[in-house]
Amino acid sequence: MEAAAQDDIACIERLVAGTIYDAGDDDVNEVAKEAYLRFFSTNALYPTTFPSVHRFETEIIDWAAGLLHGPAATGSVTSGGSESILMAVKSARDRARVRHPEITEPEMVVPVSAHPAFWKAAHYFGLHAVKTPLCPGTHLLDLDAYLDAVTDNTVLMVGSAPSLTLGMVDPIPQMAPVAAERDINFHVDSCVGGYFLPFAERLGYQFPTFDFRVPGVSTISADLHKFGYAAKGASTLLSRDEEIFSNQVFCFGAPERTDDWYVTPSMTGSRPGAVIAAAWAVMTYLGEDGYLRVVGDTMKHIRAFQAGINAVEGLRVMGEPAMTVFGYTSETLDMFAIADGLEECGWRVSRDTWPVPAIRFMQSLGHAPYFERYLDDLRVVAEQVRSGELVGRGGSANYT
């Protein structure tokens, strides 16, 4: 227990990217822990045996559907973003088998900035992932190249809100309608942004519309254990309607059976009820006002943090990140030398090599108290690299 607590503290204080999502309020963690322990032995595979867990999941999905503007949307809780993406790809493939039986070599069109789980899903489910580029310099999606990649074999188109390392929202309103015209699925990977961007939008921040308001959006993944601040691992996969959702579900046995038979909406059979209960408890505890407060405070701090990085000579934040996911790079300074110097100062640095050498972040409100100290060290390290006092040891991406 002591070691686990120390690891948690170090992750936050050292600005570890993408592992700890802290709402800046110890009460939120306590609410999640209490709910988790109360439902420790429950299993969402058996909805009539554990009706409370079934109700919690239903209410989570209903809340998420409202948040993402899907009046008829339905879905399920999964174990994390990768499983949500896997099920979205499986759903698109199976739906195309019914609606487009002439397609024998199914493809999906995926921006190079998308999450690696799409390539994992292609490997698992027998699809060919067609990778499309970004525009040089801006790192925005090359929309023309993306649309040109759509062929008669395409069964799924993919966009991100936001993308994994750059934090930018793809132009979903220009992408998804093409899927609607072709009667195929369009998936929005909003694992990072699904429980953050809707509140940022209400607060006046601007980025492309990405949810079910866009015609053609079929499915959306959104992680509860990221900026929903729930216990790991919990994500949601939402489908626009029941017809689309039906392609996600696996049912074994006689269809007339209505008891606890083997009906699963995701890759796993047993699904920990404790995770669902913890997510429901946090969602209920924070409510929309709580999420608005946390998102507002987070954006205020992250914008100041990004401005501080941009103010260091030779450094720049890449692209136009919509939220707290971003990377920074340089045309004149050795980024891995900067990474080495920051590590010498005690920071845990996430190095990246794509699309250029960079240092990346995925931070939450709990990290904010340490931003100024990081900037102080960054200014010193950048000057040491600029003067030649500090020379990097080299290295490659370090995905935390």
240 and 308, same domain (yes or no):
no
Structural domain count of the chain: 2
Q: Given this model, what pLDDT does residue 396 score?
A: 45
35 and 124, same domain (yes or no):
yes
The answer to the question of residue 255 being in a domain is yes
Domain encompassing residue 189:
26-286
Nearest residue to 374 (alpha-carbon basis) of 16, 6, 7, 4 = 16
Q: Given this model, what pLDDT does residue 152 score?
A: 97
Nearest residue to 211 (alpha-carbon basis) of 224, 226, 222 = 222
Q: How many CB atoms lie within 10 A of CB 181?
A: 11
Q: Give the percent of the chain with pLDDT over 70.
A: 94
The answer to the question of residue 203 being in a domain is yes
Spatial contact of 61 and 74, defined as CB atoms under 8 Å apart: yes
Question: What is the value of pTM for the model shown?
Answer: 0.93
Q: Given this model, what pLDDT does residue 4 score?
A: 63
Q: Given this model, what pLDDT does residue 18 score?
A: 77
249 and 302, same domain (yes or no):
no
Q: What is the CATH number of the domain that holds 68?
A: 3.40.640.10
H or E stretch covering 274: helix 273-310
Regions of the chain where pLDDT drops below 70: 1-9, 253-261, 393-400
227 and 299, same domain (yes or no):
no
- Residue position matching structure tokens 């489910």: 125
Spatial contact of 73 and 246, defined as CB atoms under 8 Å apart: no
Q: Give the percent of the chain with pLDDT over 90.
A: 84
Which of 229, 263, 286 is at the close of a domain?
A: 286
Q: Given this model, what pLDDT does residue 375 score?
A: 98
